[in-house]
């Protein structure tokens, strides 16, 4: 009899955990458009080139996500990232970012990860122009039918 209750309990636990997982997936996911392509990646960087992070906000997921940037090291949410980036970008009067031809996009169900180098040209408020390339990796997730960045990593080569 004891064995019967153990088996019954295990079966009930499996049914409930499967049901909860299905509900969670159905709540967050809906049909997304086509996976991000190079043009979509460029739109993200065109938003950053305005030097106003709010123009890039539509590409980023809210909530607790990790974004690694060149300065400072890490942000733990889009709100934190936007605030920090606004401070860094306030020292510049213009910027141009170009997703290079090495962009690679890897769809995997409701996730897509993309890598690329990005050419940058920025002019600070004193008129000094800096140019270079940096590395960019972004992880997108289908959230309510939109591809949003849930993790990003930006770095520059050691010189």
> How do residues 9-52 score in pLDDT, each as one tens digit?
333 343 444 444 443 444 455 566 789 999 999 999 999 999 99
pLDDT at residue 86 is higher than 80 = yes
Whole-model pTM? 0.79
Least reliable range by pLDDT among 3-17, 104-118, 125-139: 3-17
Nearest to 148 by CA among 54, 49, 65: 65
Which domains occur in the chain, in start order? Answer: 34-155 (3.10.450.50)
C-alpha 49/C-alpha 53 separation (Å) is: 9
> How do residues 92-103 score in pLDDT, each as one tens digit?
999 999 999 999
Tokens standing for residue 40: 């979509």
Bridge-based pairing state of the strands 64-68 and 74-77: antiparallel
Average pLDDT, the chain: 85
């Amino acid at each position: 009899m004891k064995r019967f209750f153990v088996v019954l309990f295990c079966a009930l636990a499996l049914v409930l955990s499967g049901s909860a997982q299905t509900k969670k997936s159905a709540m967050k996911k809906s049909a997304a458009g086509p996976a991000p392509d190079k043009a979509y990646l460029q739109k993200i960087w065109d938003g950053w080139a305005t030097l106003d992070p709010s123009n890039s906000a539509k590409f980023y997921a809210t909530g607790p996500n990790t974004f690694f940037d060149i300065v400072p090291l890490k942000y733990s949410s889009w709100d934190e990232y936007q605030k920090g980036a606004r401070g860094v970008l306030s020292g510049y009067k213009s910027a141009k970012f170009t997703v290079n031809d090495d962009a690679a996009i890897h769809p995997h169900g409701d996730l897509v990860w993309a890598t690329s180098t990005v050419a940058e040209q920025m002019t600070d408020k004193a008129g000094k122009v800096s140019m270079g390339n940096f590395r960019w990796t972004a992880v997108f997730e289908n959230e309510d039918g939109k591809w949003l960045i849930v993790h990003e990593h930006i770095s520059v080569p050691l010189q």
